[in-house]
Amino acid sequence: MITGSQCRAARALVECSRERLAVASGVDISTIESFERKLGKPDDESIAALRASLEAAGAAFLPDGDRGGIGVRLKFNRSETRRIQTMEGEGGIVAHDDVP
């Protein structure tokens, strides 16, 4: 599970609006807002959907006890992220890669 603060921090790290997260996760915008503002807690399925969407966008959640407490960080630094996006946008035929 993640906290509302982790959700808000992850959105900031991956530069994702609440609207975009709502579309990606299938969770209502008002639910995301109340979760992040600690006004309510969505059901476990909604939290799992939020987490999965944020992880797919490049966030990595740190468990309690990992370097002092819970948190969130980027899976890749900004340079690596840009290179990955460039490679993904190159297009071409999708085929098996024989490189070992």
Q: Per residue in 5-50, pLDDT tens?
A: 999 999 999 999 999 999 999 999 999 999 999 999 999 999 999 9
User: Domains in the chain, ordered, with CATH?
Assistant: 4-84 (1.10.260.40)
* Residue 65 identity: G
Contact 31, 4 (CB under 8 A): no
Q: pTM for the complete prediction?
A: 0.73
Write down the pLDDT at residue 67.
63
* Residue 72 identity: V
Provide φ and ψ at 25, rounded to 5°. Answer: -95, -20
| 21: three-class secondary structure by DSSP | helix
Report d(CA 80, CA 33) in Å as an integer: 30
